[in-house]
């Protein structure tokens, strides 16, 4: 009888060996190198490192990719920041001299989110969070060696949102072609945790990032501070979505001198400005270009330009804004209410009248009982006459939203009105 049992067992083993394929799913918890799981990240990255899409990576602190190191992130990888604020805020920081190579695809984007998000490997949508969830972790910060216009005229500065005593949080330099790597098909969600009163982290912060860097197909959703903020630098960025930022959606500072092309802003009740554009803080000049942008408002302002901003906005569509309040400050000071497009200071108005700040191909769907002069009260009469009031959905200017089908915003229907 014992011999018969041994023969049956042996036959079972041979049957499994002959019928089990290498193509079958890996066994969770086994020794297969493709086993799915999680990996905690709690120390800085000092050597070339790859994060693979068969793991979820948990950021347990501020993680800095140090100079000389490259962090490569495979398409479809999920990274979660542990919830916390103040000294416990989590973030991923790419220091000057380091690189991030995060190349997702439209079918397998790279997702940064919070550890309370129940999203699992292979998912893109979240089963438990939406755009109203914000401030659960920090965000992604990239620092480079491109020029900035800082108040001290030193050419370098400590990035905002990170305590001043954190090493390797400096940005700025003299290399406009600096290369910090690639972000492509990346979704950053539910960030902007508070470090202190009024001090939060942007979804994506770009400090002195050079034009050797690639930023393409990037989404920021539900961030407690700005969606994307540029502090100087020369990097170009294309195909951007910012949804439900709790401050400004697209924010430019310190003489940013790159091009932002094909961008969508979807405001919600907490959004401050669709566009907030600051000029140089120091003696160094800088001039931005924004092309093909669509902004859907809520209770926010369309745009606020200040501090002698110089640059151009070409091909924009604005809609769903409330009627601005009566302008009591005069053309040089801008309006006081919501839903308007304002210059906040004399230096900005001077840059505009000198032709160093320009606008073309602007369309808007006006709020009821509103005229173009109410919204663009700081524009000259000629530029006001060049703005076109169009029926909702009939715009010919603005972003091409067809390229955003991969985004969380698209999956949740937030792009339906564009």
pTM for the structure as a whole? 0.90
Residues in the chain: 418
3-state secondary structure (DSSP) of residue 71: strand
Beta-bridge partner residues of 260: 237, 290
Q: What is the token pair recorded at 112?
A: 């940064």
Q: Rounded to an integer, what is the distance from CA 220 to the centroid of its chain?
A: 4
3-state secondary structure (DSSP) of residue 198: coil
* Residue pair 197/120 in contact by the 8 Å Cβ criterion: no
- 300 burial type by CB count under 10 A (0-12 exposed, 13-18 middle, 19+ buried): buried
Over its C-alpha atoms, the chain yields an Rg (Å, rounded) of: 24
Q: What is the pLDDT of residue 198?
A: 63
Beta strand 199-200 pairing with 194-196: antiparallel
Residue 10 phi/psi, 5° resolution?
-65, -40
Residue 5 phi/psi, 5° resolution?
-65, -40
Beta-bridge partner residues of 47: none
Calculate ∠ Cα 258-261-263, nearest 5°. Answer: 120
CA distance 82 to 89: 8
Separation in Å, CA 364 to CA 160, 336, 367, 396: 34, 19, 9, 10
Low-confidence ranges of the chain (pLDDT < 70): 1-35, 196-198, 325-337
Q: What is the token pair recorded at 68?
A: 């000389």
Classify domain 38-411 at the CATH topology level: Pectate Lyase C-like (2.160.20)
Q: What is the pLDDT of residue 16?
A: 36
Sorted by where each begins, the domain ranges of the chain are 38-411
Look-up: residue for tokens 């191909």? Answer: 361
- 14 burial type by CB count under 10 A (0-12 exposed, 13-18 middle, 19+ buried): exposed
Q: What is the pLDDT of residue 59?
A: 98
3-state secondary structure (DSSP) of residue 169: coil
* Residue pair 260/227 in contact by the 8 Å Cβ criterion: no
Furthest CA-CA distance within the chain = 102
DSSP state of 99: E
């Amino acid at each position: 009888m014992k011999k018969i049992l041994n023969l049956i067992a042996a036959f079972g083993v041979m049957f499994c060996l002959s019928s089990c394929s290498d193509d079958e799913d890996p066994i969770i918890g086994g020794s297969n190198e493709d086993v799915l799981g999680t990996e905690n990240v709690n120390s800085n990255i000092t050597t070339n490192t790859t994060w693979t899409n068969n793991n979820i990576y948990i950021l347990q602190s501020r993680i800095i990719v140090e100079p000389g190191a490259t962090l490569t992130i495979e398409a479809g990888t999920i990274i979660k920041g542990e919830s916390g604020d103040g000294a416990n805020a989590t973030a991923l920081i790419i220091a000057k001299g380091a690189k991030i190579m995060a190349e997702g695809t439209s079918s397998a984007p790279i997702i940064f989110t919070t550890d309370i998000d129940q999203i699992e490997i292979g998912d893109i949508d979240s089963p438990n969070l939406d755009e109203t969830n914000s401030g659960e972790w920090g965000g992604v910060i990239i620092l480079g060696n491109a020029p900035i216009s800082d108040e001290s005229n030193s050419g370098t500065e400590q990035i905002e949102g990170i305590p001043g005593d954190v090493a390797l949080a400096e940005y700025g330099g003299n290399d406009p072609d600096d290369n910090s790597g690639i972000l492509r098909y990346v979704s950053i969600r539910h960030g902007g945790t508070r470090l202190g009163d009024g001090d939060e982290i942007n979804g994506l912060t770009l400090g002195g990032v050079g034009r050797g860097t690639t930023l393409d197909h990037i989404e920021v959703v539900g961030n407690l501070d700005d969606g994307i903020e540029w502090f100087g630098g020369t990097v170009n960025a294309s195909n951007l979505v910012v949804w439900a930022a709790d401050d400004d959606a697209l924010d430019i500072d310190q003489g940013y001198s790159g091009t932002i092309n094909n961008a969508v802003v979807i405001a919600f009740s907490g959004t401050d400005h669709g566009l907030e554009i600051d000029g140089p803080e120091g003696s160094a000049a800088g001039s931005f270009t924004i092309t093909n942008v669509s902004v859907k408002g809520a209770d926010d302002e369309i745009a606020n330009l200040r501090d002698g901003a110089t640059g151009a906005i070409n091909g924009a569509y604005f809609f769903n804004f409330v009627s601005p309040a009566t302008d009591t400050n005069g053309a040089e000071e801008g309006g006081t209410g919501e839903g308007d497009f304002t210059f906040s200071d004399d230096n900005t108005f001077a840059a505009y009248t000198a032709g160093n700040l320009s606008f073309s191909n602007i369309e808007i769907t006006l709020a009821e009982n509103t005229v173009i002069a109410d919204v663009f009260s700081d524009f000259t009469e000629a530029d006001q006459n060049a703005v076109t009031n169009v029926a909702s959905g009939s715009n010919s200017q603005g972003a091409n939203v067809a390229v955003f089908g991969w985004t969380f915003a698209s999956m949740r229907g937030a792009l339906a009105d564009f």
